[in-house]
Amino acid sequence: MADNEVKMQRIAGHSEDRFLGSDVFESGGRNLPPPRRGGTVREDARDIDIYHQCDVVVIGGGPAGCAAAWAAAKAGADVTLVERYNHLGGLSTGGMVMWIDRMTDWQGNHVIQGFAREFIERMPADAVAGPPRIDWGSTDKGKAAYWGQRTTAFHGIVCWAPTIDPERMKLNNQEMLLEAGVRIVFHAWAARPLVEHGVAKGVIFESKAGRNALLAKVVIDTTGDGDMFARAGADFDTDIEEGDVHHSMNTGWVLGGVDMDRWIDWKVHNPDQLRQFMDRGREELGFFQTPYVSWRSDIALFLGPRQSGLSALDVDDMTEVEIRSHRLMEGHCHFFRKHAPGFDNAYSLQSGNQLGVRHTRRLAGIGRIERKDWANGVPAADEVGISPSLSPKFPVLSVPYGAIVPRSLDGLLVGGRHISCDANSHGFMREIPQCWMTGHAAGAAAAVAANRGVQPREVDVNEVRALLRSQGAHLSDDAAVAAAGQASVAAE
């Protein structure tokens, strides 16, 4: 890559508490000239046809959106899901983020269940790669070393963090939602929410048929970027942790025809040669990334190089990342085929059709997940989910219902990476299992709100918890949650 094309500065992308440590690259060079901005045009006012009316509309069919639609429909709600692509699964499928982060705590207990567990258990056995159940929580050095090279053991502990075939995940999502009775609308971009007197009433979406309206009792924003709540006027946060991988972007890709076992054996036993290999890659390609395993030993997964200093809310920045990433895919393929053991017959197989976005907006909710609470080990008084913690020095993290409810906007809930949390907590609350978990909670709460004829902020969280538990979610004991509520009231 030419020097005048990319000027980059390597900044640290990991710490003792981060997984899959990686360089993050900040680039100054651009491939396209800036657009000729300026002035305005007036869009004609017009009446818009109503496409459908339902109880719950879910905007975005990623992990959170699929879980939300499934949960609400299973609870008896009439649900419609609007998805801009031709498939479901979001970044887990179209973004090639087929590595699913930990769903177990550091003792091997399965804490993210519900939709997530049913989804994985429905997958064909040959589509899922990960440690057997008996090894979850194991500290055996041999097992931890083996699975650590396969992205499912961290801090010397084997976890449940499988890698799954993205194409069959697309089908699995689709069939689970259809079986639950969800109306799916593919190839449709939700343009803006319909809001009356501070209450979301539905959305306007664009498709080949033009603009249509979709009315609902509850809107669930699972766009990942908070597009609906932001355009509806809800408050949100955008601060980030500088130098952290969790705000960077990239397009993922996979190479076929490889021997990942041979590659792993070489890099483990030749650390000095690996460092030389990495230095050469950075020198020749500028941006450089080593591969992760996939669900097959003959396919290598690349989730980078991560690029910072660019915004996923800016169409020019997003275009820039795509241009670089597709060049890098081909550059990496040639470099690895020439220099890397196990890549002699590698070829470019597929790139993600969705940009790998990690952070844009985070809801400002009536509750919030914060770094200061990681160590307290006390369930939230309005708990609707439990997340594994970032490292063994922290207990599991209780997720409050308030983290998915806007402070002032009614008629809307959120699920996924844009829930209400601080920048530190976002680093792991944005992962796919956590998106499944918060989406599941949003879908259950939306069904309760629609059924009771109340606003989402007014639902009985105990009813939501009972519904979540009936759908297989793992939650803290009711008595512990009640005690936390009483302590909170006493503190006030």
Does residue 2 form part of some domain?
no
Check residue 27 and give its pLDDT.
Answer: 58
Compute the distance between CA of residue 93 and CA of residue 239 in angstroms, rounded to an integer: 27
What are the pLDDT digits (tens) for 232-254?
A: 999 999 887 765 666 688 899 99
Least confident of 10-19, 132-141, 376-385, 413-422: 10-19
Q: What is the mean pLDDT of residues 79-105?
A: 97
Of 357, 375, 407, the residue that ends a domain is 357
Compute the distance between CA of residue 379 and CA of residue 65 in angstroms, rounded to an integer: 25
Q: What is the mean pLDDT of residues 100-120?
A: 97
299, amino acid identity: I
For residue 94, give the nearest of 412, 356, 362, 308 by alpha carbon: 356
CATH number of the structural domain spanning residue 121: 3.50.50.60
Are 332 and 395 in the same domain?
A: no
Are 79 and 224 in the same domain?
A: yes
Are 179 and 155 in the same domain?
A: no
Are 120 and 154 in the same domain?
A: no
455, amino acid identity: Q
Inform me whether the pLDDT recorded for 489 exceeds 80.
no
Both structure tokens of 57: 């509309």
Does residue 259 form part of some domain?
yes
For residue 336, give the nearest of 306, 299, 307, 308 by alpha carbon: 299
Compute the distance between CA of residue 235 and CA of residue 368 in angstroms, rounded to an integer: 13
Are 331 and 447 in the same domain?
A: no
- In percent, the amount of the chain with pLDDT more than 70 equals 93
* DSSP 3-state of 409: coil
Domain of residue 476 covers 47-127+165-240+359-491
Task: Provide the Cα torsion 82, 85, 88, 94; round to 10°.
Answer: -150
For residue 415, give the nearest of 233, 226, 234 by alpha carbon: 226
Q: How far is CA 175 from the centre of its chain?
A: 20
What are the pLDDT digits (tens) for 448-466?
A: 999 999 999 999 999 999 9
Does residue 144 form part of some domain?
yes
CA-based torsion, 210, 214, 219, 220: positive or negative: negative
What are the pLDDT digits (tens) for 245-293?
A: 666 888 999 999 999 999 999 999 999 999 999 999 999 998 888 999 9
Phi, psi of 18 (to 5 degrees): -100, 145
Are 389 and 478 in the same domain?
A: yes
What are the pLDDT digits (tens) for 4-40?
A: 333 333 333 334 344 444 556 665 678 888 898 999 9
Does residue 206 form part of some domain?
yes
Compute the distance between CA of residue 484 and CA of residue 182 in angstroms, rounded to an integer: 36
Are 236 and 384 in the same domain?
A: yes
What are the pLDDT digits (tens) for 196-217?
A: 999 999 999 999 999 999 999 9
Q: What is the mean pLDDT of residues 321-338?
A: 94
Does residue 275 form part of some domain?
yes
Least confident of 26-40, 149-163, 470-484: 26-40
Does residue 221 form part of some domain?
yes
Does residue 392 form part of some domain?
yes
Place of tokens 């985070």: 362
Are 263 and 346 in the same domain?
A: yes
What are the helix (H) ranges across 79-159? 115-121, 141-148
Q: What is the pTM of this model?
A: 0.94
Check residue 124 and give its pLDDT.
Answer: 97
For residue 282, give the nearest of 335, 338, 349 by alpha carbon: 335
Compute the distance between CA of residue 63 and CA of residue 22 in angstroms, rounded to an integer: 24
Domain tally, the chain:
3
Place of tokens 């009614």: 410
Compute the distance between CA of residue 189 and CA of residue 228 in angstroms, rounded to an integer: 11
Computed over every residue of the chain, the mean pLDDT equals: 92
Are 236 and 254 in the same domain?
A: no
What are the pLDDT digits (tens) for 365-388?
A: 999 999 999 999 999 999 999 999
Inform me whether the pLDDT recorded for 223 exceeds 90.
yes
Count of CB atoms situated within 10 Å of the CB of 479 = 8
Are 292 and 427 in the same domain?
A: no
Does residue 3 form part of some domain?
no
Are 329 and 474 in the same domain?
A: no
Are 401 and 478 in the same domain?
A: yes
> For residues 288 and 278, is the Cβ–Cβ distance under 8 A?
yes
> For residues 294 and 267, is the Cβ–Cβ distance under 8 A?
no
Check residue 170 and give its pLDDT.
Answer: 98
What are the pLDDT digits (tens) for 343-364?
A: 999 999 999 999 989 999 999 9
Q: How does DSSP assign 189-232, residue by residue?
A: EEEEEEEETTEEEEEEEEETTEEEEEEEEEEEE-SSS-HHHHHT
> For residues 418 and 221, is the Cβ–Cβ distance under 8 A?
yes
Phi, psi of 471 (to 5 degrees): -95, 15
Q: Which residues pair with 68 in a beta bridge?
A: none
Check residue 5 and give its pLDDT.
Answer: 38
Of 296, 331, 357, the residue that ends a domain is 357
Of 308, 339, 357, the residue that ends a domain is 357
Which residues 6+ apart lie within 8 Å of 101 measured at CB?
19, 161, 428, 431, 432, 433, 434
